[in-house]
C-alpha cells in the first residue's frame, strides 16, 4: 500500500505511485491510506508517474489520474498500435498483451459469479475463453459507433468524448472499426467540411441553444451498406422537430450527405420518439455467419460480428439441442438465436420487449423460410406467464437480456414451463450473475462458464453460463 493519502495527491497533482491491482474497468488501482486512486492505462506492479484529473469531486474517496510516464513497465505492457491511445478512452486494455487481456476477462467472470451468484471460486467450473482467432491489436471488429458533434464558430469536431482534452477524438482511422465503417465516418466528416454554414450543435459553449445536432449514429456491416442517423436535441414536439430538419443550416448538409453516401446507405434524422427518413433504405442486412439478419434504426444488434459468431458457436455446442425438443429464446431481439436453434429444435418461441425487434424477427423468419418459430412481444414476466397459461412446455432455453437482470419472478416460470437446461448470455456480467444466483436458490446448478470476448481491447466481457435444473 502506498503511503499517500488523498490530500497528498490533491496537493501535489503529479505523484509517483506503484499500481496495486486492476480496477473494475481494467484501470490501474492504488490503495491510499484513506481511499483509492484509479489510473487509466496502468498495469498492476508498474511504477508510474501520474497526474490528477481536473474536476475531482470534493470529499470523494476515489480519485482519478492519468499516466504521465511509465517509470517501471510491467512485462504485460505492449505497443497499443494506436496513435491516440494516450488520450482516447474507447479501448481501455489496448496497452495489454492479448493473453493478459483475456486473463483479466476470465477473472471478471470468476469475481462476479462468486460475489453475486454465491458460487465460490473453488467450486466454479473451468472458464472457457470465447474469442475470434487470430486476434491482434488491430482488432477492426466494430461495425457501429455513435459520434458526438461539436461546433465552435466555423469549426466542428465529430468523434468520441475524452476526459483528457476538450477536442473530440476522430474515429476516421480508429483501429477498432472495420474498414467499411471507417470509410462511412470519413464520408460524413467530409460532407460537413464542405458546408458553407455548419449545422448548429445541440450545445454551444455549454449553453443549450435550442434544436441542434447532438451526434451521429453510424452502422456499416459491409462495404457500401449501412445506416446513418443524425440525432437532434432540444426539440420538444413534432412540429419543432420537423422545423429543425428543414432549418437552413441543417437541410443543406442533409441534402449533401444523402447525395454523398453510397446507394445502399440509409439516412435519417431523429429526436427522441420522432424520426424523419431522408434517404432509403431504412433497413439493412447484417451478416452473422451464414445468417443475413435484417435490422432497422430501432433494433439492437451486435457491434462486432466475428466475435459474436464465436459466441453463438459455443452456445450451440452447450445447448446440444435434440430434434424433438422445444426451446424458448428470452431476449430474442431480431431473432438470431431463434433462427439458429430452430434448425435443430422442433419449435422455438422468441420473446422480446422491443416491438420493433419482434417485427424484424418475423421478417427474418420469413426471409429464411422458418415456419417452426413464433415470436411474442412483452415484458419478461408477462410473456412467460402467457406461455405458462397456454400450458406450453420447453426443455431448453436461452436468456439474452440487455444489461438488467430478469429477476426472481420471470425466472420462476422456467420450472413451470418444464425447462431443464439453459444458456445465459449476459452482456452485463454483474446482472447475469445476479440471475444465476436466483436460479441457484431455486435448485439450478452451474455446469459451464465462459468469458465472451465480444469487444476486444476493452474491459467489456460477456458472461456465458450453462445452467441445469437439478
Contacts of 8 (CB under 8 A, 6+ apart): 15
The CA distance from 136 to 121, in Å, is 30
Q: Give the span between the Cα atoms of 387 and 376, in whole angstroms.
A: 9
Specify whether the CB–CB gap between 234 and 270 falls below 8 A.
no
Stronger pLDDT, 218 or 207, i.e. the higher one: 218
Contacts of 224 (CB under 8 A, 6+ apart): 180, 262, 263, 264, 265
Provide mean pLDDT across the span 148-177. 90
Instruction: State the residue for C-alpha cell 455513435.
Output: 146
- Phi, psi at 139, each rounded to 5°: 60, -80
% residues pLDDT > 90 (the chain): 84
Count other C-beta atoms under 10 Å from residue 389's C-beta.
9
Q: Are the C-beta atoms of 213 and 245 separated by less than 8 Å?
A: no
Angle separating helix axes 429-441 and 98-116, nearest 10 degrees? 40
Task: Measure the CA–CA gap between 152 and 150, rounded to whole angstroms.
Answer: 7
Predicted pLDDT at 64:
93
> Is the pLDDT score of 208 beyond 60?
no
Inter-CA distances, 57 with 16, 50, 52, 62, 321, Å: 22, 18, 12, 9, 53
- Residue 54's alpha-carbon distances to 163, 165, 425, in angstroms, are 9, 11, 38
CA 215 to chain centre: 17
In the numeric block, the cell 400450458 is attached to 391
Instruction: Evaluate if residue 376 carries a pLDDT over 70.
Output: yes
Closest CA to 254 of 222, 278, 231, 274: 278
Q: Which H or E run contains 98? A: helix 98-116
Confidence at residue 1, expressed as pLDDT on a 0 to 100 scale: 46
Q: Which grid cell sits at 387?
A: 406461455
Distance between CA atoms of residues 186 and 165, nearest Å: 22
Rounded CA gap, 351 and 84, in Å?
41
Radius of gyration of the chain (CA): 24
* Residue 49: pLDDT over 90: yes
Averaged pLDDT, 160-182: 90
Would you call 124 helix, strand, or coil by DSSP? coil
DSSP string spanning 370-403?
--SEEEEES-HHHHHHHHHHTT---SEEEE--SS
Q: Using pLDDT thresholds of 50, 70 and 90, give the confidence band for residue 407.
A: very high
Work out the mean pLDDT of the chain and round it to a whole number.
93
CA distance 130 to 71: 34
Any idea which residue has 432540444 for its cell? 234
Structure confidence at residue 247 as a pLDDT band (50, 70, 90): confident
Cell triple for residue 453?
A: 470476448
Per-residue confidence (pLDDT) for residue 205, from 0 to 100: 46
pLDDT for 135 beyond 80:
no
Handedness of CA 441, 442, 448, 454 (dihedral sign): negative
Which of 331, 287, 356, 290 shows the shortest CA–CA distance to 143? 287
Helix, strand or coil, per DSSP, at residue 115: helix
> What structural domains does the chain harbor?
6-72 (2.40.50.140), 78-140+304-470 (3.40.50.150), 144-285 (2.40.50.1070)
Q: Over the stretch 10-35, which tens digit does the pLDDT of each residue have?
A: 999 999 999 999 999 999 999 999 99
DSSP secondary structure code for residue 123 in this structure? G
* 281 closest CA partner among 271, 301, 299, 296: 296
For 464, the grid coordinates are: 456465458
Burial class for 443, CB neighbours closer than 10 Å (0-12, 13-18, 19+): exposed
What local confidence, expressed as pLDDT, does residue 163 receive? 77
Rounded to 10 deg, the angle between the 251-260 and 179-193 helix axes is 140
pLDDT higher than 60, residue 206? no
Backbone angles phi, psi at 369, to 5 degrees: 70, 30
Per-residue pLDDT of 319-328, as tens digits, reads 999 999 999 9
| Higher pLDDT, residue 209 or 458 | 458
The distance in angstroms from the start CA to the end CA of the chain is 45
Rounded mean pLDDT of 409-413? 97
289-327 tens-digit pLDDT = 889 999 999 999 999 999 999 999 999 999 999 999 999
> What's the CA gap between 325 and 349, in Å, rounded?
12
Amino acid at each position: 500500500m502506498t503511503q499517500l493519502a488523498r490530500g497528498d495527491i490533491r496537493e501535489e497533482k503529479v505523484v509517483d505511485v506503484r499500481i496495486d491491482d486492476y480496477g473494475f474497468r481494467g484501470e490501474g488501482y492504488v490503495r491510499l491510506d484513506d481511499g483509492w486512486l484509479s489510473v487509466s492505462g496502468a498495469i498492476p506492479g508498474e511504477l508510474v508517474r501520474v497526474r490528477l484529473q481536473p474536476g475531482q469531486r470534493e470529499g470523494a474517496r476515489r480519485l482519478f489520474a492519468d499516466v504521465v510516464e511509465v517509470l517501471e513497465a510491467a512485462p504485460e505492457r505492449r505497443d497499443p498500435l494506436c496513435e491516440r491511445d494516450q488520450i482516447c478512452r474507447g479501448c481501455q486494455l489496448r496497452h495489454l498483451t492479448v493473453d493478459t487481456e483475456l486473463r483479466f476477462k476470465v477473472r471478471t467472470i470468476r469475481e462476479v459469479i462468486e460475489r453475486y451468484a454465491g458460487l465460490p471460486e473453488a467450486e466454479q467450473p473451468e472458464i472457457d475463453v470465447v474469442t475470434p482467432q487470430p486476434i491482434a491489436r488491430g482488432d477492426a471488429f466494430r461495425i457501429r459507433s455513435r459520434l458526438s458533434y461539436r461546433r465552435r464558430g466555423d469549426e466542428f469536431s465529430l468523434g468520441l468524448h475524452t476526459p483528457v482534452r476538450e477536442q473530440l477524438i476522430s474515429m476516421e482511422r480508429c483501429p477498432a472499426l472495420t474498414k467499411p465503417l471507417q470509410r462511412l465516418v470519413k464520408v460524413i466528416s467530409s460532407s460537413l467540411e464542405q458546408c458553407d454554414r455548419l449545422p448548429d450543435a445541440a450545445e454551444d459553449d455549454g449553453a443549450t441553444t435550442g434544436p441542434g445536432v447532438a451526434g451521429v449514429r453510424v452502422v456499416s456491416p459491409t462495404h457500401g451498406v449501412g445506416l446513418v442517423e443524425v440525432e437532434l436535441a432540444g426539440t420538444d414536439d413534432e412540429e419543432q422537430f420537423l422545423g429543425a430538419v428543414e432549418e437552413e443550416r441543417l437541410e443543406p448538409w442533409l441534402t449533401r450527405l444523402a447525395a454523398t453516401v453510397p446507394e445502399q446507405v440509409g439516412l435519417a434524422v431523429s429526436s427522441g420518439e420522432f424520426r424523419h427518413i431522408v434517404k432509403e433504405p431504412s433497413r439493412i442486412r447484417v451478416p452473422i455467419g451464414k445468417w443475413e439478419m435484417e435490422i432497422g434504426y430501432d433494433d439492437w444488434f451486435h457491434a462486432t460480428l466475428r466475435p459474436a459468431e464465436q459466441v453463438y458457436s459455443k452456445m450451440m455446442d452447450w445447448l446440444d439441442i435434440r430434434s424433438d425438443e422445444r426451446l424458448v429464446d428470452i431476449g430474442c431481439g431480431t431473432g438470431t438465436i431463434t433462427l439458429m436453434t430452430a434448425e435443430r429444435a422442433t419449435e422455438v418461441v422468441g420473446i422480446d420487449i422491443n416491438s420493433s425487434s419482434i417485427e424484424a424477427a418475423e421478417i427474418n423468419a420469413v426471409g429464411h423460410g422458418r415456419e417452426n418459430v413464433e415470436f411474442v412481444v412483452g415484458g419478461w414476466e408477462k410473456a412467460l406467464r402467457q406461455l405458462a397459461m397456454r400450458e406450453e412446455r420447453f426443455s431448453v432455453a436461452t436468456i439474452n437480456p440487455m444489461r438488467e437482470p430478469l429477476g426472481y419472478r420471470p425466472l420462476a416460470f422456467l420450472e413451470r414451463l418444464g425447462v431443464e437446461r439453459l444458456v445465459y448470455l449476459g452482456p452485463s456480467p454483474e446482472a447475469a450473475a445476479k440471475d444465476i444466483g436466483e436460479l441457484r436458490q431455486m435448485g439450478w446448478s452451474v455446469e459451464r462458464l465462459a468469458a465472451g470476448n465480444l469487444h476486444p481491447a476493452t474491459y467489456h466481457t460477456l458472461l456465458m453460463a450453462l445452467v441445469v435444473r437439478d
